[in-house]
Amino acid sequence: MIFFIDTANIEEIREASTWGIISGVTTNPSLIAKENRPLLDAIKEITELINGPISAEVQEGNADEMVEEAFQYARMHPNIVIKVPMTFEGIKATKRLTSYQIRTNVTLIFTVSQAIMAAKAGATYVSPFLGRLDDYCESKEAGAELVKDIRTAFDNYHYPSKIIAASIRHPEHVRQAALFGADVATIPYKVLRQMIEHPLTTKGLALFRQAAQK
Ligand code: E4P
């Protein structure tokens, strides 16, 4: 499973990139807004830090508007992937961008049928939102079940779209994404850190340190 980092924060991206395990970045309007800086500047700087797919989201609108905005992003850097919302117009925009060989990430996916529609439109990636679905269903498994079912559906019909497990809240979501066959997990910086640290590792190291001093 490939890891993307789910943030628009340059320091977080810079730090995580030094670990050598981050293959791409996903942003969204909320993540960019947190950074209080012009959107295009943020995207450009991210492309300079990570040599891999960088998702930049178009604003919801009609297909013409989304395709126009997508062209702006796509012109910035060959690694840009256009994040398109899962709407009727978003599906039309995805189909058109696919015909121009511009890669897309259809976002805000909450059902298998939405994922199939996105795949049929040629989406490079589909992003089921695990955390938000779990919250909505008041369940710890709803997001994981969705990933599992999309995996089965895509495998049944050999859809080439890649599944990005998104809206990840904790390492358990990454475990579920890995077990159920997501191609990619896009992970917030805080969760990436939690995937490395463990209290027993810290405790074990302290004990080894003491032993070494003896
Ligand atoms: C994915 O591409 C989105 O940016 C992200 O995972 C949304 O997650 P949230 O539910 O934490 O906002």
Residue 106: predicted pLDDT? 98
CA dihedral 17, 21, 23, 24 (to 10 degrees): -50
What is the pTM assigned to this prediction?
A: 0.96
Task: Give residue 33 CA to ligand 1 midpoint distance, Å.
Answer: 13
The per-residue pLDDT for range 30-62, each reduced to its tens digit, is: 999 999 999 999 999 999 999 999 999 999 999
Average pLDDT in the 95-114 region? Answer: 98
The per-residue pLDDT for range 107-162, each reduced to its tens digit, is: 999 999 999 999 999 999 999 999 999 999 999 999 999 999 999 999 999 999 99
CATH class of 2-213: alpha beta
Task: Give the percent of the chain with pLDDT over 70.
Answer: 100
Residue 167: predicted pLDDT? 98
Average pLDDT in the 157-178 region? Answer: 98
Question: Per-residue confidence at 4, pLDDT binned at 50, 70, 90?
Answer: very high
Q: Whose CA is nearest to atom 12 of ligand 1?
A: 167
Task: Give residue 31 CA to ligand 1 midpoint distance, Å.
Answer: 8
Residue 123: predicted pLDDT? 98
Q: Whose CA is nearest to atom 7 of ligand 1?
A: 167
159 CB-near residues (< 8 Å, 6+ apart): 116, 119, 120, 153
Is the CB of 6 within 6 Å of ligand 1? yes
Residue 214: predicted pLDDT? 93
106 with 126: CB under 8 angstroms?
yes
Residue 93: predicted pLDDT? 98
**Quick one: how far is CA 211 from the chain centroid?**
43
Average pLDDT in the 20-29 region? Answer: 96
Domain boundaries, the chain: 2-213
Average pLDDT in the 20-38 region? Answer: 95
Average pLDDT in the 192-196 region? Answer: 97
